[in-house]
Chain A
Amino acid sequence: MDNTLNPFLLEVMEKPGGDKVQQCIQCATCSGSCPVIEEMEYGPRRIMYLIQSGAEEQVLSSRDMWYCVSCYSCTSRCPREIPIAELMASLRELAVEKGYAEDKESQFGQAFTETYQHHGRLFEPELMLRYYLRSWDIKGLLGMVPLALPMLLKDKLPFWPERIENPAVMTAMRQDEEPGEAHSSKKRSSWWGWLIGALLALGGALVGALLWLVELSLEEEL
């Protein structure tokens, strides 16, 4: 079988959940068990086949892994015991790494990670802010508005973040970095600076526009 291996297949096989990709016998139990199969382009069975055939672009630019709800139905039923849900998570990572990720869910994942790295625990209002600023998902935001008020009334949205003693440890444990380098990195989030910058720029533009209008009207008077 060695001569049929291709770079993408090898890459996937290195990732968690990927080592058994070649064991897939295309029985489609996974696709038949998937609750979001209707939302997917290919479904897990065809994704397995595409990985085996080395179709990197087709796999990583598809929306399938972003719609995976990690319900583990496929994983628990697979007769070849392939951890398909884990594999989907690995495909999400690969898609981000290689610049294929465009789905809103990838923005949500990033926003989620940034938020828990910031405080050591999740802080929902910040997660939402980060997500909507990243994705400009206006339709989603409008859909959330009617939910926000009941959530506030029922005390389901915290006002202050719960922080761990040293949130920097979250970034240090982040991923496959060199341990030394990881522990010394105490990268603070640049997000607040970015927001303030954006607000300042917006304010500056408004002041500029006002001045310009005043100038115009003064010129007219003269």
Chain B
Amino acid sequence: MRYAYYPGCSLQSGAKEYDLSMRAVFARLGIELVEIEDWSCCGAVHAEGQAKINLPARNLALAEVQGMTTIVAPCSGCYLNLRRAAKQAASGKKVRQQINMELPGELKITADIEVLHPLYLLIEEYGLEKIRAQVTHPLTGLRVASYYGCMLTRPKDRFDSPEKPQGLDELMRVLGAEVVPFPYQSKCCGGALAISHSDVTVKLSGQVLGSAKERGAEVVTLGCPMCHTALDLYQHKAERALNQTFELPILYFTQLMGLALGIDREQLGLERHIVSTAAVVEQVVKRESEQAKKRTREQASEVV
């Protein structure tokens, strides 16, 4: 399996741990990621007019130059923008011509291109059973709240329900974790206003964190760098504003996969979080040694 990889701006700076763990996990699963050469910003939610389509479209055309037909975009925002542009380019010959006219230089989109979020790529194209077979360090007993945020499942697409999404929960169960359902799983974290109206971000992310904590989650997992900023970096602000303690580590789903697949922890960027991930790692290590002991005991009893 071979895919074009569009990391997006966040995965190069604040969310480097998402990039690191994603590359490590995909390499372990035997999925090749080819980074799009000279990729550029998708415009996030700030592109205006036709640039909304043209900025992501440049990256689609670049992927085509490299002979790729499917792009993996791990940031939910980039994923939505790239997918929207790809759909638009595929909607008709005339629309595609219009887009091509505005692309710089010789760049052109000539064929349909698919844009996938890594979570749904793993579920639909790779298969959860194949992942289950490779889990060496199951996250047994780890109480995980799966947080979908907004743009991963909205606007409605063919992958999951926008109201009650299941994909991330299913993946977590495959890794052996105990999924904690919580009502804020696909409510907004307010990440979009983190700079200009941070009080709103604090309020909304506080609701998400509070709800997960109340349901007994030990860790929140997600697949969006914006949500990660709101829930991890702003967690202390939310704690102060609500006068509550959360201490909820926020891990990318690729990091939890990395732990479950037994990938060297150094490769997963676990030390780059604001809220310490040590408790999660410790629990996985503890379970690992318990299981190792159990195995030796079993072997010993077999020998006897």
Contact = CB atoms under 8 A, between A and B. Distances in A.
Contacts of B52: 16, 89
Q: Chain A binding site: helix, strand, loop or mixed by DSSP?
A: helix
Contacts of B27: none
Interface of A: 16, 35-36, 39, 66-67, 69-73, 75-76, 83, 85, 89, 93, 103-105, 107-109, 112-113, 116, 120-122, 124, 128, 131, 135, 137, 140, 143-144, 147, 150-151, 154-158, 162, 164-166, 169-170, 172-176, 179, 182-183
14 contacts: A67-B193, A69-B190, A71-B150, A72-B150, A72-B155, A108-B196, A112-B44, A131-B195, A144-B195, A156-B233, A166-B104, A170-B40, A174-B51, A179-B102
Interface in B82-107: 101-105
Interface stretch (B7-15, B63-71, B122-130, B252-260): B7-15
Given A39-B200, A109-B46, A154 B102 contact: no
Nearest to B104: A169
Q: Is the interface of B mostly helix, strand, loop or mixed?
A: loop
Given A35-B188, A76-B154, A107-B196, A116 B272 contact: no
B139 to A, nearest CB: 24
A105 B190 CA distance: 13
A128 B188 contact: no
B143 interface: no
Contacts of B102: 173, 179, 182
Given A154-B274, A172-B104, A175-B51, A73 B150 contact: yes
B43 interface: yes
Contact of A93 (B48, B55, B204): B48
A84 B162 CA distance: 15
A21 B50 CA distance: 20
Q: Most chain-A Cβ atoms within 10 A of its Cβ — which of B47, B105, B155?
A: B47
Given A73-B154, A121-B40, A175 B49 contact: yes
A36 to B, nearest CB: 6
Given A89-B45, A140-B195, A173-B55, A75 B154 contact: yes
A219 B196 CA distance: 51
A44 B10 CA distance: 30
Nearest to A168: B104
B291 to A, nearest CB: 31
Q: Which of B38, B102, B237 has its CB near the most chain A CB atoms (within 10 A)?
A: B102
Nearest to B273: A154
Interface of B: 9-10, 12-14, 16, 38-41, 43-52, 54-55, 58, 101-105, 150-151, 154-156, 162-163, 187-188, 190-193, 195-198, 200, 204, 233-234, 237, 271-274
A204 to B, nearest CB: 32
Contacts of A16: 49, 52
Given A69-B192, A116-B9, 20 more contacts: A35-B188, A69-B188, A69-B191, A69-B200, A70-B45, A72-B154, A93-B48, A93-B49, A112-B44, A113-B46, A121-B41, A122-B13, A137-B196, A140-B195, A150-B274, A154-B271, A154-B274, A157-B14, A173-B103, A173-B104
Contacts of B155: 72, 75-76, 83, 85
B119 to A, nearest CB: 17
Nearest to A96: B48
A157 B41 contact: no
Nearest to B16: A155
Closest 3 CB pairs of A and B: A72-B154, A122-B9, A71-B188
A67 B200 contact: yes
**By CB atoms of chain A within 10 A, which of B10, B155, B195, B196 has the most?**
B195
A175 B14 CA distance: 28
A129 to B, nearest CB: 12
B150 A151 contact: no
A121 B12 contact: yes
Nearest to A16: B52
Nearest to A131: B195
Contacts of A143: 198, 237
B235 to A, nearest CB: 11
A119 B38 CA distance: 11
B9 A128 contact: no
A72 B233 CA distance: 24
B101 A179 contact: yes
B41 A120 contact: yes
A143 B55 CA distance: 32
